[in-house]
Amino acid sequence: MAPEPHRLERARRPLPRSPFVVLGVAALFLFASCGTGSDESTSTITSTSTPSSESSSSESSTSTGLDTDLFFDGALAEEPTTEDCTLSDGTETTCYSITVAGYPSDHEVGPFCPETITDDADAGGIWLDGENVYDLDGQFIEDLAETYGDSTWKMYDEDGNVLVTETQEEFEAAARPDVDPDLQNHCVEGKLEWLENGEPIQTTVLIPTTPVAAAEPSSTQAILGVTLDGVRIDASAPVDAILSAYTIAAFDDCGGHFNPFEGYHLHGAVGCSEVDEVADGDTAQFGYALDGYPVHSPYAEGEAPDDLDECNGHTTEADGYHYHANSAAENLVIACLVGQTVQSDDAGGGPPPNG
């Protein structure tokens, strides 16, 4: 199994560079493990505190939808446009077409994997496995067998050099569901120059200009949203598959990494791409969810207010309805979406194809 089957991570791209890539990915995904997140969509709805019911008490709610001006310079590959769109329950409305550049506009990506088992945390990024978030330093690599209770782990050579994917071929072979056995015990990292054409992969999403509440929250989206610096926020990384192949699909210190198909994308919110302005008692916005509501950084542990709903959202006077990202450790940036997303799955908003 592979670091990044990413079966659930398809999105329409404005200019697909090669149909073979898309077809190849689809074929590979047939063998990929089940995506994460979908089991949550069956959760029963006991909360009635949807944004609409909450905001109805406040005429001054600022939940007016996405503000395209909040995106950083260079975050969008094209000027946002509006077009007709159909939401998941059939509602006909207007959506922004947002094309993110696919590379953070405000910082370089990486580092991902440390080079030696004596490297400190500055030399690597982070790893998150659904329970914990770790600094990806040399010690973490050295301790893998102990951390995961399996002596097969040994991701370094006799000189203490960490085994890292070193070529585009290795990167792609490690990102397949059937990881090349030679790439077991490798720290997997990609580079911009290993993407097709050596360029960031743009992603276009359709986001309702005004959020529309859904009958019940959903969590089957392949793309959960976009960051203000131009990166897609993806569903959970397939951590079980990654670990069962004795690989680590390293994230950088902003919680993102490359895969060959989607380019650079985010799995953990750790405070990057935040706006400057923060309301008292809240955290800063860093992105938008696919239903059009803002996404704010996680609260520090123990500081979350008790009004957060099952999707980790709440309505405040300053910011209207917005989500708070889960902690990066959880490997799921946004728990679920309370608003409707666009019906067509090639806009990134629909349920995954069967399987």
**Interface residue list for Zn ion (CB under 5 A):** 237, 282
- Give the pairing type, strands 133-135 and 126-128: antiparallel
Residue 119 token pair:
């490297």
Considering beta carbons, is residue 141 or 223 the nearer one to Zn ion? Answer: 223
Toward Zn ion, which CB reaches closer, 95 or 248? 248
| CB 144 within 8 Å of CB 250 | no
Our CB check for Zn ion shows the closer of 249 and 347 to be 249
Nearer to Zn ion, 138 or 256 (CB): 256
Is the CB of 117 or the CB of 188 nearer to Zn ion? 188
Residue 261 in contact with residue 28, Cβ under 8 Å?
A: no
Closest CA to 337 of 219, 194, 182: 219
Residue with smaller CB distance to Zn ion, 237 or 254: 237
Q: How far is the CB of 258 from Zn ion (least distance, A)?
A: 8
* Smallest gap from residue 155 Cβ to Zn ion (A): 19
Smallest distance, Å, CB 4 to Zn ion? 5
Task: Provide the minimum distance between the beta carbon of 13 and Zn ion in the complex, in angstroms, as a whole number.
Answer: 16
Torsional class of 206: left (φ above 0), alpha (ψ -120 to 50), beta (otherwise) = beta
The residues, ordered by sequence, that sit 6+ positions from 171 with a Cβ below 8 Å of its Cβ are 165, 188, 189, 190, 191, 194, 258, 260
- Name the minimum Å distance from CB 309 to Zn ion: 11
Q: Least distance (Å) from Zn ion to the CB of residue 299?
A: 8
In angstroms, give the least distance from the CB of 82 to Zn ion.
Answer: 27
4, 234 contact by CB (below 8 A): no
d(CA 246, CA 121): 21
Q: Which is nearer to Zn ion, 209 or 265 (CB)?
A: 265
How many Å apart are CA 60 and CA 166, to the nearest integer? 54
CB of 63 to Zn ion, least distance (A): 12
CB 79, min distance to Zn ion, A: 28
How far is C-alpha 125 from the chain's CA centre? 16
Residue 251 to residues 62, 116, 133, 138, 274: CA-CA distances in angstroms? 34, 17, 10, 15, 18
Which of 178, 133, 148 shows the shortest CA–CA distance to 301? 133
- The residue (of 138 and 230) whose beta carbon lies closer to Zn ion is 230
SS3 182: helix
Give the nearest residue (CB) to Zn ion. Answer: 282
How many other C-beta atoms can be found within 10 angstroms of the C-beta atom of residue 75?
23
Q: Are strands 294-296 and 320-324 parallel, antiparallel or unpaired?
A: parallel
Nearest to Zn ion of 77, 242 (CB atom) = 242
Q: How many C-beta neighbours within 10 Å does residue 168 have? A: 16
